[in-house]
Amino acid sequence: MQIENQMYKLTGGVDPLALCEKYACPLYVYDSAIMKRQYERMVNAFKVKNLKINYACKALSNINVIQYFNSLGAGLDTVSIQEVETGIKAGFEPQEIIYTPNCVSFAEIAEAVEAGVKINIDNISILEQFGQTYPNVPVCVRINPHIMAGGSSKISVGHIDSKFGISFHQVPHVKRIVEATGLKVEGLHMHTGSDILDSGVFLQGAEILFNIAREFKDLDYIDFGSGFKVPYKEGGVCTDIEDLGEKISTRFNNFCQEYGKDLTLMFEPGKFLVSEAGYFFVKVNVIKQTTANVFAGIDSGLNHLIRPMFYDSYHHIVNVSKPMGKTRIYTVVGYICETDTFGVNRKIAEIHEGDILGMHNAGAYCQTMSSNYNSRYRPAEVLVHEGKDYLIRKRETLNDLWRNQVETQLFSKVAAE
């Protein structure tokens, strides 16, 4: 979102205030041009013969977004059978989808096999069951490289205490299962965490995976997960994807030569592809001045965007209605009946009741983590594509909140006889 003629504009000159007027706040808006820019950055950065970027749709699972990444040539990274089904409904060929669950039932994995998608297994017990049940279905094995990386303990998933993946110390056990069942290991995978800044972490993980890869002769791909950091603050730091691409590509190409086969280099970015593409627009209900603070109370809360409360995430907040006003200090809070603070002591152009605020980086893990807490409706979603806006999710209604509730009549008030 850029300021043009003193007003914020989305790509193609689309006016966010007009969208808020048309679809009402609170409102999620996604800019497809930014998704494309990020996808192309990855394709340009990694210089290998076979590259596959699997969009991790848990970040933003609207079917239109999934279809958009399909049209760009991406594959799909999924973590539940429902995401698998959505990917197939969106038009992905099953083999373009990789299913990476953890701690799910074997019955769900069986459904994924039936669907024909690539299966990524992250524990020994499931691998044993899988090998005995489906010896002819190739699998990918998720390795835990025991690397502590990521923006916080909640999003670091490759360390020794993490529940994710099979420890690289257990590779001999994996090999025994493979030999005993005749399974074909077609891929190796690791995912160390999110918000990783240091390319050294990837290279360290890559070496671990390459060492393991030498022990499996039927590989088709190596999946390095993702975790690339995107800027959340103005001028904030991010992963230098071009530098990382150069280093990983060189190392990967050398490994392919040594391995004697052109393997596919895979990644599964979610946040990197969609975070910056999303904006969350909210209306200011009240300005409340206390002895210590000036609060801007908005028509949303942790029910719609929980990242600031859950991860202590920073989301840049701007006054979209009056961007050129004098800057003042505000604490932006929600309407939920517990503390739901979006930002403390933020410098924002002077806010008046009724103004529209815009939260940046609202594309990843925002709408998908929203809820109906306090019996509030989840917001509408709009996609801005080539200068036009498209409603891609309707705002919920009271009927949506009641839809699956079963009223038993057990306790309904009976009229006195």
Partner 1 sequence: MKHTINFLKIKLAVLFFAFLFFQSCPNGKAVKTISSIDQKYLYTMDGKKIKLPAEKDTTTTTFILVRHAEKGVNGKDPDLTPDGLQRADDLAEILKQIEVSHVFSTDYIRTKDTARPTAVDKGLPLDIYNPSNQNSLLGHMVMDPDYKNVLLVGHSNSIPAALNHLLATSVYENIDHEEYDNIYFVRTSDGEKTKLISLKY
Catalytic residue set: 337
Beta strand pairing call for 356-359 and 327-333 = unpaired
For 38, residues 6+ apart whose C-beta sits below 8 A from its C-beta are 269, 272, 273, 274, 276, 277
Nearer to partner 1, 210 or 311 (CB): 210
Q: What is the DSSP string of 280-312?
A: EEEEEEEEEE-SS-EEEEES--TTT--HHHHT-
Nearer to partner 1, 4 or 93 (CB): 93
Report which secondary-structure segment, H or E, holds 348: strand 341-349
Handedness of CA 378, 379, 380, 382 (dihedral sign): negative
Residue 211 in tokens = 């060492």
CA distance 230 to 197: 9
Minimum gap (Å) between residue 224 Cβ and partner 1: 14
Minimum gap (Å) between residue 172 Cβ and partner 1: 34
Nearer to partner 1, 253 or 368 (CB): 253
Minimum gap (Å) between residue 227 Cβ and partner 1: 20
Minimum gap (Å) between residue 65 Cβ and partner 1: 16
- Reported residue count of the chain is 417
In 10 A of CB 133, how many CB atoms? Answer: 13
| SS3 assignment, position 244 | helix
Minimum gap (Å) between residue 30 Cβ and partner 1: 20
Minimum gap (Å) between residue 49 Cβ and partner 1: 5
CA distance 59 to 117: 20
| SS3 assignment, position 33 | helix
By the criterion CB under 8 A, which residues form the site for partner 1? 40, 43-44, 46-53, 72-74, 249, 253
| SS3 assignment, position 134 | coil
Minimum gap (Å) between residue 61 Cβ and partner 1: 21
CA distance 354 to 239: 37
Residue 117 in tokens = 């998608």
Nearer to partner 1, 46 or 280 (CB): 46
For 175, residues 6+ apart whose C-beta sits below 8 A from its C-beta are 215, 216
Q: What is the DSSP string of 59-85?
A: S---HHHHHHHHHHT-EEEESSHHHHH
